[in-house]
Amino acid sequence: MIVNPMIWFDCGDDDPIGEILVAADLLHYVVPQYRAPKTRAYMDQVFLNTLPLDFRQQCRMDKTPFVKLCELLGEQEVFQNQSTCEQTPVCLQIVCALERLGKYGNGASLGSLKRAYGIRQGTTSLFTARVITALNDQAAEMITWPSHEQKARIKADLVDDDFFCCIGCIDGTTFPLAQCGKTYFDHKYRYSVNDQVICDHRRRIVGLFVGLPGSCADITCYGQIDIRKNPRVNSGEAEYLLADSGYPITTTIVPVIKGQEARQEANIRFNMCVSHTRVVNENCIGTLKTRILSLREIRTQIKGEIVTQDMERLCDWVIDCAVLHNLLLIRDDCWDACDDEVDEGELDQGRQVAEGE
pLDDT at 65: 94
Report which DSSP code applies to 319. Answer: H
Q: What is the pLDDT of residue 43?
A: 65
Chain segment 12-55, per-residue pLDDT in tens: 556 677 777 777 776 666 666 666 565 566 666 667 778 888 88
CB 174 within 8 Å of CB 214: yes
* pLDDT the model gives residue 338: 66
DSSP type of residue 191: B
- Interval 60-86: pLDDT, tens: 999 999 999 999 999 888 998 777 778
Q: How confident is the model at residue 304, as a pLDDT?
A: 56
Q: What is the model's pLDDT at position 161?
A: 73
Q: What pLDDT shows up at residue 350? A: 44
Residue 181: which H helix or E strand, with range?
none
Every domain of the chain and the residues it spans: 40-140, 144-304
Low-confidence ranges of the chain (pLDDT < 50): 1-9, 346-347, 349-357
In the prediction, which pLDDT does 89 show?
85
Q: Is 202 left (phi over 0), alpha (psi -120 to 50) or beta?
A: alpha
- For the chain, the average pLDDT equals 81
Edge-to-edge strand list for the sheet holding 166-176: 205-213, 192-199, 166-176, 240-243, 253-255
